[in-house]
């Protein structure tokens, strides 16, 4: 069935295409019907170079690799490139869904969720909010890649090469409180399975939490520890990762940034939210 023959309200169909090489090949790719609601990425914090660059690259990956439709992004704070302005600039027929807003968040965040839902509610067009990107196995995949990029983990468990810099224990450090830490524990378990090494979670907002995770890893026999920031990059807590690692003598990988797995997750969350909206 061609895209032109599909009704605008039809659900997206999986796109079959010839495999191609490269890191950005997506497994969750969909051919969206014409006039599908716009996918809008909600970026935490105000517009700034790092957050804007990450959001722009993820939007590019989403539209080129996964949906075939333009994707946009808007910030949840400030007037510059704001989510409110992006939603106000969209056009949609009365009652028709014009946008699905996907938060750039690795897990539930009460402050971000409140700002996102306020923007969606105030929008002059019909819009809905999708779920956060995580927890999801793809987050663990992205954390693994960032640890490998920093030389703190093997790229996979099959290659038996020696890496003297590889950590023997990992702290998944997440923004937020004890609830956020419990959410991140799902990712920690998945990451531990990938690394075949102990992984504990901690809050970047609580220095004692990071120290407690370090003590647990030491007790488990970890001689060298790595801190993996469980965040994308625009979050205010991104600045806390390096000092937190230094305070316990750990190395640190970089935030997830514009990892292709996050683009796949954004497309997946879009389709999930769109399916629910069309079913109502």
pLDDT at 160: 40
CATH annotation of 137-252? 3.40.50
Confidence band for 95, pLDDT divided at 50, 70 and 90: confident
Per-residue pLDDT for 10 more than 50? Answer: no
Model confidence at 29, pLDDT cuts 50, 70, 90, reads low
Q: With 60 as the cut, is the pLDDT of residue 15 above it?
A: no
State the burial class of residue 196 (Cβ atoms within 10 Å of its Cβ: 0-12, 13-18, 19+).
exposed
For residue 16, pLDDT over 80 is answered with: no
Residue 173: φ, ψ to 5°: -100, 115
pLDDT tens-place string over residues 198-220 = 999 999 999 999 999 999 999 99
Is the separation of the CB atoms in 31 and 108 below 8 Å? no
Mean pLDDT of 127-155: 95
State whether residue 17 is helix, strand or coil.
coil
**Residue 260, CA distances (Å) to 23, 226, 231, 246, 278 in order:** 8, 22, 14, 28, 27
The yes-or-no answer to whether 38-134+260-279 and 137-252 have a common fold is yes
Q: Whole-angstrom Cα distance, residue 225 to residue 85?
A: 43
What pLDDT shows up at residue 161?
A: 39
Domain range summary for the chain, segments of one domain joined by +: 38-134+260-279, 137-252
Q: How far apart are CA 68 and CA 19, in angstroms?
A: 16
Q: What is the pLDDT of residues 48-62, one digit of tens each?
A: 777 899 999 999 999
- Mean pLDDT computed over 176-193: 93
CA 151 to centroid of chain Cα atoms: 22
* 182-203: average pLDDT: 95
Q: Identify the residue with better confidence: 30 or 71.
A: 71
Q: Please state the φ and ψ torsions of residue 256, each to the nearest 5 degrees.
A: -65, -35
Report which of residues 27 and 278 the model is more confident about.
278
pLDDT at 27: 52
Question: What CATH code is assigned to 38-134+260-279?
Answer: 3.40.50.1400
pLDDT band at 165 (very low <50, low <70, confident <90, very high): low
């Amino acid at each position: 069935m061609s895209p032109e023959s599909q009704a605008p309200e039809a659900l997206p169909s999986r796109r079959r295409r010839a495999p191609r090489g490269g890191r950005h090949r997506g497994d969750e790719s969909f051919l969206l019907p014409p006039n599908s609601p716009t996918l809008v990425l909600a970026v935490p914090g105000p517009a700034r170079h790092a957050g804007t660059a990450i959001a722009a690259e993820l939007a590019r990956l989403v539209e080129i690799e996964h949906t075939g439709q333009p994707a946009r992004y808007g910030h949840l704070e400030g007037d510059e490139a704001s989510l409110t302005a992006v939603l106000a600039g969209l056009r949609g027929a009365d009652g028709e869904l014009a946008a699905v807003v996907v938060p750039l968040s690795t897990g539930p965040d009460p402050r971000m969720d409140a700002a996102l839902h306020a923007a969606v509610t105030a929008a002059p067009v019909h819009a809905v909010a999708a779920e956060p990107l995580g927890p999801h196995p793809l987050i663990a995949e992205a954390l693994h890649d960032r640890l490998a990029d920093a030389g703190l983990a093997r790229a996979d468990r099959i290659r038996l090469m020696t890496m003297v810099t590889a950590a023997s224990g990992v702290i998944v450090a997440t923004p937020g409180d004890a609830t956020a830490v419990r959410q991140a524990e799902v990712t920690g378990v998945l990451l531990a399975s990938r690394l075949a090494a102990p992984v504990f979670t901690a809050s970047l907002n609580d220095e004692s939490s990071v120290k407690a995770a370090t003590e647990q890893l030491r007790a488990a026999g970890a001689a060298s520890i790595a801190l993996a920031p469980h965040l994308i990059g625009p979050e205010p807590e991104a600045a806390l990762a390096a000092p937190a690692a230094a305070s316990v003598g750990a190395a640190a990988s970089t935030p997830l940034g514009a990892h292709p797995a996050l683009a796949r997750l954004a497309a997946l969350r879009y389709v999930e939210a769109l399916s629910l909206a069309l079913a109502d």
